[in-house]
Structure 1
Amino acid sequence: MTERYSEYVKSSNLRRKSTATVKTRLESYFTDSLTSVDEVNDPVESAYPDCVEQVAECDEVENDDHSGQNLEEMVTECTAEAYPETVGDFENVVESDDEIQQPTLISSLMNWAVEYSITLVALTALLSVLRHHHPSLPKDAKTLLHTNRNYLIKQVAGGAYFYFGIVNALSRFLNNTFLKIPDRHTIKLQLNFDGLPLYKSSCIQLWPILGLVQGLKKPCLIALFGGKSKPLPLGEYLRDLVTEIQILAAGFTFKGKTLFIKITSVMCDAPARAYIKAIKYHTGYAGCDKCTLHGVHVDGRMTFPDSTSPVRTDESFRLQMDEEHHRDISPLTETGIGMVSMFPHDYMHLVCLGVTRKLLELWAGSNGRLKCRLPSKKVSQLSETLLSFKCHMPTEFARKPRSVEERHRWKATEYRQFLLYTGPVALVDVVSAPVYNNFMLLYVVISILACPKLCVEFCDFAKTLLVSFVQHFGQLYGRENLVYNVHGLIHLSDDVKEHGQCLDNISGFPFENYLGQIKKMIRSPQFPVAQVVRCMSEFENADCSADTPNETKLRKPHIP
């Protein structure tokens, strides 16, 4: 294709030059009818020495019968005679090349409407205006976007349910990377379960099942449930997923290649993880899903002060050796998924929204110990320091630092930014030395576990630092603050070691971003599942967000 295109460019350039030369000569011939042929030939010979022969042939048009021809036909005829090798299948080449390189107006409108979430009403109004100039455009936005109107939404587990399917959800990825995927390749897939409330004034919520191929940034939608509460019973909600996982265990055929799918991990926050695994929630006595430690009630809170309890295993979970830990039997046990090893702690919820937010609340809030609580003057100093970093933050940070007074509105990325970048600098001379040293323990550990090169080599060292942090945390802030999130840090390095990946690859950040995109698809509180199904069909038809492997794109020049 490249050789054909280069030949086409070379021939088309030659043809354009010859056409322009002959056209200029003919226009001069017809407009200056009073000038003799000899007077015209002299300047032409001097200006176009390489085209004297073909121009001379064109001058003989006076003696031919061209009364029925216009100027363009004569130009084409003269050019074909002068450059016969450039004509050939020129028109066919142009048409085929335009089809490859230039999108049509309809496809451009489709991509634009999907990319910017244009409403159907607005898009239909735009089409009514454009149809005056482009009658070939459809009248309705649904026709333009090829919206799927033939779908079956089932009533399952107390709400509306639609199952897209794992293979169907991965079809875009498979089509884009089919040539690079070898036969009998194993696709590593992460699963995610989480609840998505739609409105503050209503109890309507969605429970999507998401999947993420290892190496990609954008998840795919496997199933969607919508109702006024979480799906109950759990078996009905997971039935289709469990059945397809069991079928795919033997592999599947895609365009002549045999492929396999392996579930590597299941990412959930603590409540969703307890719900999917059918175990006690994190506020229960047997709430820790990684070890057999039983909690202790202190000041109305469930705490987990010990860090040396025996760990749970997939086998002990399957046999339900700790009866107090289980509420029921999870349907996922039938798929061969490790119910302990394949459910790592979510770094986003555990560390960023859990421990880091709790530290800021203990410092700037009203519930921390007096010896660790900051006076209002120190809190203002910390806020001013963070705000002074605004103009110095690189463009790679999506959010700029905000004051501590707005900490309740901080997002997970802002807590991560404070922990790994701004906090170690801003806290100097603001908190006491023991508090600062305790914070730096957490900073060092997360920096190690978040680095792809250091997380495996120094994983055992990180485990030692985490145990030290939790013990020192209890001494500083009291045993009543050793809650589930703080205790869970002890098992964080074990999850990294088990999966052999850094924290960013076993976190909920990509899934939370995709949940936000799903929420934007909802335009009305009526039939939210049907709205998402139709929007997903529009995304599949458009070509504005194809799945490609992770490639970091820098906005500005960087020194390697």
Structure 2
Amino acid sequence: MWLKIFKAHHFRAVSTEQMSSADQRREYNRIWPRVSRAQKKNTRDGEPNELQNHNDQEMYSDDSPGSGGGCTIEEQLHDDTNIVPETELEQMETSEDSCDGDEDSAVASSFREQLKEWAIDFGEKHNAVDALLKVLKKNGHPELPSTARTLLESTNEVDVETESGMQCVQFDVRGQILEHLKKYPQAVLEKLDSVDISLNVDGLPLFKSNNQSLWPVLCCINLSPKSIFPLSLALVSSKPTSLNFISKTVSKLENVMQNGLEWGDKVIHVQIRCITCDAPAKALVKCIKQYSGYFGCDRCTQKGFWDGRMTYQEVENLTLRTDQSFREVTQLEHHHEGKTSPFSNLSIDMVTSFPVDYMHQCCLGVMKKLLLLWTKGKKETRMSSGQIKEVSVRLEQLKTAIPNNFARKPRGLEHLERWKATEFRQFALYTGKLVLRGVLQDDQFEHFMAFSVAMCMLISPSLVQAHCSYAHELL
């Protein structure tokens, strides 16, 4: 059939009696690729290949038409009387081109979707996907985009609000929580009637060349595993002068806490477990004096004592702060005049809902301070160089005994200035008891053990229930 179409198209285009050999060859080269593609398509679809039933010598005996031996194009065209009507031929050609185009488009679209799913499933970096796309475009896939952004259909367009010199991006709180709840198994969600969330507010410096910083409000869903996502982002110079970026988030969160989340045929209640901040950020979002102020303690009402730095030395017979006293501003010196915390609009305890920052105050605070006193402090508390070397050697020897559950292996005290919080935590809870025994003075070692044992109790969910009062006595 395709041989007849080829002949008819050639015969219709120009009379062979008026064509030279060169013109016949050019006409052949123009028409044959289309017929060849159609023939290959029918072969893939399972139709008989009529062109393979004809010997090439029956059509052409030489590269040049009209040469001696065999049948020339003119003879072949004149011998064939079964010419397809012109109207039918045009319809068939149009249908053929349309089918080829649709098929090629479908294949390209399918390949692009598969490539997109691969990049998302394996979390490939955009620069790696960009390099892969360039290779594919050079090797038979010119229809693919040039960048991962186009492939993944991502956009950089976000609604940025500018207030008080800050650029803010506000997310839909309800939508964010629902989107991340969908990641959990259906069996977990079916039994879920309420969900606890935790919030975190802190600043993140972005550049070393200027003081711009990013202040995100992060939310954590307290299920296993935990899911953490932003509720708002604010770009500020140094520290924010306004808490509007928090106020809008709190307003949306208040609505979610009051009305809950619609999940199928039930409503999931949302409640805040805690709001974690370091000491400077806590003072900022609660609109209270910094911890270095005379009335900066956020747990009790005592006035601090200056001893080279602000200290709060009273540990007994204290008047503790309560949610009611905080909201009623019973101690004016503790609050910033004319400012109210956005979180006070939520139904939370403004004192206990802001827990002590364990990482900064215990690991990077007390434990680091003790080690600096033992290695670089006054003569009466400082270890000798031989003792410092002995502790470092013991720490190095413990490397092989530290399991992979710990993020870092122990390092010697010569690297103390570069220790991370997790290393101070490891020393306070585990290795310090071993490497300091017999090296540190007895009274100093007992002092360290009081801190270490108390911290072990307080961070253990089971021990803190039974020995909380004893940990308080040790501290």
The aligned counterpart of 2:130 is 124
Matches within 5 A, 1:214-363: 214-215=222-223, 216-234=225-243, 236-248=244-256, 249-299=258-308, 301-308=309-316, 309-327=318-336, 328-363=339-374
- Separation in structure 1 between the aligned mates of residue 235 and residue 149 of structure 2, nearest angstrom: 23
Deviations 1:347-375 (A, max 9, x none): 1111111111111111112xx33221112
Structure 2 distance, partners of 1:134, 1:187, is: 48
Please say if residues 198 and 204 of structure 1, whose CA atoms lie closer than 8 Å, have aligned partners that are also in contact: yes
State the AA in 1 paired with 2:230. Answer: L
**Superposition CA RMSD, Å:** 2.2
Distance 2:389 2:152 in 1: 52
Change (3 A) 1:417 1:133: farther
Q: Is the 8 A contact 2:126 2:149 kept in 1?
A: no
Residue type matched to 1:195 in 2? G
Larger radius of gyration: 2
Distance in 1 (CA, whole Å) between partners of 2:305 and 2:234 is 36
Q: Which amino acid aligns with 1:363?
A: W
Go from structure 1 to structure 2 and tell me whether the alpha carbon gap of 1:462 and 1:128 turns closer, same or farther (over 3 Å shift): same
Q: Residue 451 of structure 1 corresponds to which residue in structure 2?
A: 460
Residue of 200, 204, 223 corresponding to 1:196: 204
The answer to whether residue 215 in structure 2 is matched with residue 207 in structure 1 is: yes
CA distance in 2, matches of 1:190, 1:68: 69
Q: Distance in 2 between matches of 1:144 and 1:407?
A: 47
Deviation digits for residues 268-313 of structure 1 (CA, Å, limit 9, x no counterpart)? 11000000100000100011100111101112x1111111221100
Cα distance in 2 for partners of 1:263, 1:253 equals: 18
- 1:210 offset after TM fit, Å? 0.5
Contact 2:232 2:245 in 1 (8 A): no
- Mapped contact 1:208–1:222 kept (Cα < 8 A): yes
Q: Unaligned regions of 5+ residues in structure 2, if any?
A: 1-46, 50-112
After superposition, give the CA deviation of every residue in 1:469-497 in whole Å (9 maximum; x if it has no partner): xxxxxxxxxxxxxxxxxxxxxxxxxxxxx
Runs of 4+ in 1 over 3 A off after TM superposition: 133-138, 254-257
Measured against aligned partners, the alpha-carbon deviations of 1:377-422 in whole angstroms (never above 9, x if no partner) come to: 2212211211121222212212111111211211111111111111
CA distance 1:298–1:431, shift in 2 (3 Å)? same
Letter in 2 for 1:305: Q
Q: Which amino acid aligns with 1:307?
A: V
Matched residue count: 360
2: distance between equivalents of 1:68 and 1:343?
A: 79
Q: Which amino acid in the other structure matches residue 244 of structure 1?
A: K
Amino acid at match of 1:107: E
Aligned to 1:107: 117
Corresponding position: 1:164 with 2:174: no
Q: Structure 1 vs Structure 2: percent identity of aligned residues?
A: 36
Aligned partner of 1:384 among 393, 403, 422: 393
Secondary structure of the equivalent of 2:471?
Answer: helix
**2: CA distance between counterparts of 1:307 and 1:326?**
22
Measured after TM superposition, the shift of residue 341 of structure 1 is 1.3
| 1:187 alignment partner AA | V
Give the structure 1 partner of residue 43 of structure 2.
none
**Separation in structure 1 between the aligned mates of residue 382 and residue 429 of structure 2, nearest angstrom:** 22
Q: In the superposition, relative to structure 1, how do residues 133 and 461 fare at CA in structure 2: closer, same or farther (>3 Å)?
A: farther
Change (3 A) 1:378 1:200: farther
Q: Which moved more, 1:376-385 or 1:341-350?
A: 376-385
| 1:430 and 2:436 correspond | no
What amino acid is the match of 1:293? Answer: Q
Aligned equivalent of 2:63: none
CA deviation profile, 1:229-268 (whole Å, cap 9, x unmatched): 222212x122211211221122232444322210111001
- Measured after TM superposition, the shift of residue 218 of structure 1 is 4.0
Q: Distance in 1 between matches of 2:191 and 2:409?
A: 46
How many angstroms apart in 2 are the aligned matches of 1:372 and 1:463? 25
Q: Distance in 1 between matches of 2:375 and 2:144?
A: 59
User: In structure 2, the residue corresponding to 1:344 is in which secondary structure?
Assistant: coil
The DSSP-based 3-state class of the residue aligned with 1:401 is coil
Residue-by-residue CA offset, 1:183-216 (whole Å, 9 max, x unaligned): 8821100000111111233211110000111133
Determine the C-alpha separation between the residues in 1 that align with 2:118 and 2:178: 22
CA contact 1:184–1:257 (8 Å) conserved in 2: no
CA contact (8 A) 1:106 1:137 kept: no
Q: Which residue of 2 aligns with 1:175?
A: 182
Deviations 1:15-60 (A, max 9, x none): xxxxxxxxxxxxxxxxxxxxxxxxxxxxxxxxxxxxxxxxxxxxxx
TM-score, with structure 2 as normaliser: 0.72
Q: Residue type of the partner of 2:145?
A: P
> Structure 1: how far apart are the matches of 2:144 and 2:173?
35
Preserved CA contact (<8 Å) 1:231 1:237: no
The answer to whether the Cα contact below 8 Å between 2:194 and 2:271 also exists between their aligned partners in 1 is yes
The answer to which of 457-466 and 103-112 deviates more is 103-112
SS of equivalent to 1:394: coil
TM-score under structure 1 normalisation? Answer: 0.61
Alpha-carbon distance between aligned partners in 2 of 1:383 and 1:199, rounded to the nearest angstrom: 35
Q: Give the deviation of 1:169 after TM superposition.
A: 2.4
- Report what 1:72 is aligned to: none
Which amino acid letter does the alignment assign opposite residue 139 of structure 1? S
CA distance in 2, matches of 1:268, 1:352: 15
Identify which range, 435-444 or 198-207, moves more after superposition: 198-207
| Closer, same or farther: CA 404–218 of 1 in aligned 2, 3 Å | farther
| In 1: Cα distance, 2:261 partner to 2:412 partner | 53
Alpha-carbon distance, 1:135 to partner: 5.5
Cα distance change of structure 1 residues 460 and 196 upon mapping to structure 2, 3 Å threshold: same
The answer as to 2:385 corresponding to 1:406 is no
Give the Cα–Cα distance (whole angstroms) in 2 for the partners of residues 283 and 403 of structure 1: 32
1:4-83 superposed matches below 5 A = none
Out of 156, 164, 169, the residue aligned to residue 149 of structure 1 is 156
What is the CA deviation profile of residues 139-164 of structure 1, one whole-angstrom value per residue up to 9, with x for unaligned ones? 32102233133321111232211012
Asked if structure 2 preserves the Cα contact closer than 8 Å seen for 1:205 and 1:226, the reply is yes
Task: Find the aligned partners of 1:347 and 1:380 in 2 and give their Cα distance.
Answer: 29
